[in-house]
Structure 1
Amino acid sequence: MGLKVASKGIDILMEKPLAPTIEECRTLIDFCNNRGVKLLVGHHRRFNPYIVASKAHISKVGEIMAVQGCWTSRKPDSYSKEKPWRSSKKKKKDRIYF
């Protein structure tokens, strides 16, 4: 899907993983680079204060064998009010929604 979008010259914000294999990821990255298409991988929680704190605490535990968890959070009402497109269901020609 990423190659199809990039072939139209549309910049991409893609959630991870980019592709099933490293080779396919590299193909997509090279394809975008060669055509001047911006490709951004979604890592939006990596620097969240809760994640940073969790990582610091987990590193003190030692070797982790397994983890089961669930992440839930609610965005404040201001999130959509500041940028109405974030909650808009109206489709735009320059965006593709998955």
Structure 2
Amino acid sequence: MSIPLEIDLSHWTSNHFEELEQILHDLIPHFRWFQIPSKIFLSKVDPYEPIFPRKLYKSIIGYFMDPNTPPDTLVLPQRRNLSFDSLLIGKEHLKII
């Protein structure tokens, strides 16, 4: 059963957070939480703390408090732009592949 979600989190119940957590459960570990600036995390993500696995949330907050302490959860590497340099094919061919 789907619960209609209010935009205003102050009206959310624990059932709302539980349903959102069930929907996002498999996706949460794949976000690069440690690459989000702490100010943005605290203003945009922190209100959704109830959907986070406890260990992951504590690790993220710990990292923001002391970036020199390695997180105790899996941290995905930063995405990087791959350079393309080929004599055999051009960028237009790469788009097809």
Q: TM class, shorter-chain normalised?
A: under 0.3
Q: Which has the higher strand share?
A: 1
Q: Which has the higher helix share?
A: 2
Structure 1-normalised TM-score?
A: 0.25
Which has the greater radius of gyration?
A: 2
